[in-house]
Amino acid sequence: MATITELKCAVRETLESRGVLGQLKARIRAEVFSALDDQREPRPPLSHENLLINELIREYLEFNKYRYTASVLTAESGQPEAPLDRQFLANELRVAEDTSSKSVPLLYGLVSHFLNSSDNGGKVFLRGASLPTAPTGSNTVPGTDA
The per-type count for the chain, helices as H runs and strands as E runs, is 6, 0
Q: According to the model, what pLDDT value does residue 136 have?
A: 44
DSSP state letters, 35-88: HH--TTSPPPP--HHHHHHHHHHHHHHHHTT-HHHHHHHHHHHT--SSPPPHHH
- State pTM to two decimals: 0.63
Whether 112 is covered by a domain: the verdict is yes
- The C-alpha atoms of residue 7 and residue 1 are separated, in whole angstroms, by 10
Whether 127 is covered by a domain: the verdict is no
Residue 31 sits in the same domain as residue 66: no
Residue 28 CA: distances (Å) to CA of 10, 12, 21, 34, 74: 21, 16, 11, 10, 16
> Block means of pLDDT (10 residues each) for the chain, length 146 residues?
83 87 81 71 81 95 91 85 92 90 92 78 65 45 41
Residue 15 sits in the same domain as residue 50: no
**120: CB partners within 8 A, 6+ apart:** none
Whether 96 is covered by a domain: the verdict is yes
Residue 59 sits in the same domain as residue 30: no
Q: How many domains would you assign to the chain?
A: 2
- The C-alpha atoms of residue 15 and residue 83 are separated, in whole angstroms, by 32
Q: According to the model, what pLDDT value does residue 145 have?
A: 43
Q: Which of 51, 126, 119, 137 is nearest to 89 (CA)?
A: 51
